[in-house]
Amino acid sequence: MPTKKTAPSKKSAAPAATKKAAPVKRAPKNAAVARTDIFISYSQRDKAWMERLKTHLKPLERDFKINVWVDTKLRSGDKWRVEIESALAKTRVAILLISSNFLASDFINSDELPPLLKAAAKEGTIILPLLLSTSAFSLTPLSEFQAVNGPDQPLDLLSEGQVNQTLFQVAKRVHEIFMAPAKKAVARPVVTSTAVAKKATTKPAVASVEANKKTTTSGLPKAASATAAPKRAAASASGTQQALLVKLSGEWGVIPVHHAKIGKQLEMALRPATPSQVAFLTTLRQSGDGLASVVFRWHSYRCTQRDLHAVTENNRETWHLTADTQELIARTEVTYSNLTPDMQAQARAELLLLNTQPPEQSPMRWLSNGGFNDLAASPLPALFRQVGNSPTRFKQVAPLVLTWFLHFTNTVQHILHLSLTLKGQSVSIDFEGQRDAGHRDAPITVRVKGICSLAGANEKAVLLGPIRSY
């Protein structure tokens, strides 16, 4: 234990010479420090995860000269607290390796997080939580920041390949943050436990109350035009709804929509919430496939992609999509063997929604099985298998996929009502759609109500490309 030094007396403390020493030039205490580094905050018990992440970040260090700071850079004899404070002051992106060990660390909670949260609020420092294992993350103020992976996808529950994919997504997001044009940071309040507690007890705003009054069907808000056939007009929407994006190759993804404006041109602000959604948008931007169609709010749009880019601001990554929209091309409809186009549409709707096959000897069987429609079965069983038999994911995706099919097979032009209730290996469906008055005096309504079995799907992926793929 070091010996306590005695303070010198006033007399002995007097200077030996009268010549004044030259003043030492010091930087202002609040001088801005360039934020150029990545800071990895982790518990020592999770060091193995930190090393794996560093491997994925190594190309950024080598090729783009981005400094990645971890406490392993501390040398013997360094004043570690001063070094850490210096590193925090230069942090542009902070990656938090969240686990129960991380959340239990008093040092992280008292020394590392406060300056990072303050910098995020005032200077735009990016906070990227990476969930290593199941923990109380969702109960802490840190949950205000968008995690790289969801609470149901911590790294220790993923396969080796999925772990590498998630760690790559971290590196990719960091690369995009550093390569994106600098934007002026917008001040936001510091996230504190008190603020979160206050938020939980504060009455919701009027806008939120009004939003909650909207009726929903299977998690999707009813379209404002659900009672009448809507015309092609510009529309705007904001909130957390979902859009189905379909590539020319047939691959598809469902992405949360923050804001959308649709007229002759489609403008969407997308906010991916999972690594797979980010990966889909990345390949859509980089590949030559391009965008083929978008489904949003029970409407389908054939699109030609013009621009897709990501912007990270205030710790949120938003992808901006711009595309030209074209009218859906109506198929030529003919009466065959006394089966009118409307009768064919009714049978097609029953096949799509309930997987109900026409009678064996009926001409409708030929029409729906390689004839005019190239549609042999419902996509729902294969879709259920593709989403891993997840009820939550199926309820989110199925209405959008069905909307695409109902429009692009020319079954209906307008969806008035679509309700899906999942029970085990079957789904109860209540549907009502409208066909335009193409060869009659007034529009006609197509109604389907029944149960579709989700069992027995083959392993073939559900692509939204050629209809015959289903």
Q: Which residues pair with 404 in a beta bridge?
A: none
Distance from the Cα of residue 155 to its chain's centroid: 18
User: How confident is the model at residue 288, as a pLDDT?
Assistant: 59
What whole-number distance in Å separates Cα of residue 268 and Cα of residue 296? 10
Residue 445: phi and psi, rounded to 5, are -100, 135
**Given this model, what pLDDT does residue 386 score?**
84
The confidence score (pLDDT) of residue 57 equals 94
Span between the terminal Cα atoms of the chain, in Å: 77
Residues with Cβ within 8 Å of residue 191, at least 6 apart in sequence: 117, 120, 121, 141, 142, 144, 145
Please give the Cα distance from 245 to 400 (Å, whole number).
10
Residue 365: Cβ-neighbour burial (10 angstroms; 0-12, 13-18, 19+): middle
Sign of CA dihedral 403, 409, 411, 414: positive
Residue showing tokens 């942090």: 91
pLDDT number for residue 226: 32
Where the chain has pLDDT below 50, the residues are: 1-31, 75-77, 181-239, 370-372, 467-470
Cβ atoms 98, 147 nearer than 8 A = yes
Burial class of residue 218 in the structure, from the number of CB atoms within 10 Å of its CB (0-12 exposed, 13-18 middle, 19+ buried): middle
Question: pTM for the whole thing?
Answer: 0.52
Instruction: Determine the pLDDT at residue 363.
Output: 54
Amino acid found at 57: L
pLDDT at 45: 94
Looking at residue 144, its pLDDT comes to 76
Give the three-class secondary structure for 300: strand
